[in-house]
Structure 1
């Protein structure tokens, strides 16, 4: 919770929110007051802002798990390996040569954490850690508070490798979808909407 609040108050979020808020406020004022030039400016800047935020969100997640937070909580969990593909790191498109520039391995996994429902997730890594091209079991490290943050450690503990080898494939049938936090850009969008509401309210109170 504290991490989310700090993220909303981060400098980059506040600067982006100021721009988005002004765009939303101009659009709202143009609609309410009927000023053609203000409506045009509001529509143009709002369309640009939403397009940019959508691109940020698509690039930020790309269907893959996020990395761990520095200093954040973490725990090990066994996982089933469904498939391993080579994809382009930015676009997520399949590539034929895993050694090509920008290529990453995409591991389709079902993570089985202790005390919670298994979930399916895609983890990307530039190397075939744990030799998963030839194995059906893996060990992941994840954030218990933000389980969409999952990585593949290079050298997991032997006891967790043993747990992974004992996993039953039927556990995949009980897995839920990949957990997700707010997508990249969502903090800017939400804060920008609040800024716009405050600006419009202040203008109408002053006028």
Structure 2
């Protein structure tokens, strides 16, 4: 998937080369054709190539691999609605406290019915599932089973320091820039050099 994206991104460079060459030669019929084809093909090819590069880079970095999940209690540090309706989407700042491990801060989202919003106010204890290998993947449980609901009602959780916050790492940003820029330049050069030298 990743290398297909690189090849398509190289094609985008060629299409940009055709667009540029056509724009500088609009007086000829061939220049108009290059310009029209380039301006119509570039957005669609770039969209597909960019999606494949992004998804492929996430897969190469192991960010799409799901690990085992465990259940834990979490303290709501802050809660803010980011959409409205019968079910609100909440952006949560949580302190997650795994069994036998230190707590950590993480951002999460939960879709909550308007009648249940009081259970998600700051300072409340909620139940979450978290990925043990990627701890930033946290799924708040809106309706946990009875045993966990009872534990949440009795628990008192201290806030973890903000320095303990975990988040998804960037997918190799430096190397990804090379994979975006280099194919563009190669594709553009492959199209423009023969056209200029002819």
6, 22, 25: which one aligns with 2:11: 22
CA distance in 1, matches of 2:122, 2:94: 14
Cα distance change, pair 112–130 in 1 and its aligned pair in 2 (3 A): farther
2:125 counterpart of 1:137: yes
Verify: 1:111 aligned to 2:96, yes or no: yes
- Of Structure 1 and Structure 2, which has the larger fraction of its residues in helix? 2
Quick check: which has more Rg, 1 or 2?
2
The root-mean-square deviation of aligned C-alpha atoms, in Å, is: 5.2
Q: How does the TM-score come out when normalised to structure 2?
A: 0.51
Q: Is the 8 A contact 1:106 1:122 kept in 2?
A: yes
Aligned residues: 161
Give the whole-Å Cα distance in 2 for the aligned partners of 1:117 and 1:110. Answer: 6
Q: 1:120 aligns with which of 99, 106, 112?
A: 106
Q: Relative to structure 1, is the Cα distance of residues 105 and 117 closer, same or farther in structure 2, using a 3 angstrom cutoff?
A: closer
Unaligned runs of 5+ in 2: 24-33, 55-64
TM-score (norm 1): 0.49
Alignment of 1:162-201 (within 5 A): 165-169=155-159, 171-176=160-165, 178-181=166-169, 193=180, 196=183, 200=187
Residues 1-207 of structure 1: pairs in structure 2 closer than 5 A: 9=1, 19-27=8-16, 35=21, 37=23, 41=38, 45=42, 49=46, 69=66, 72-88=67-83, 95=84, 98-99=85-86, 103-113=88-98, 115=101, 118-127=104-113, 128=116, 131-133=119-121, 136-153=124-141, 154-155=143-144, 157-158=147-148, 161=151, 165-169=155-159, 171-176=160-165, 178-181=166-169, 193=180, 196=183, 200=187
Task: Please state which structure has a larger fraction of its residues in strand.
Answer: 2
* Stretches of structure 1 lacking an aligned partner (at least 5 in a row): 1-8, 58-67, 89-94
Task: Tell me by how many angstroms 1:168 deviates.
Answer: 1.6
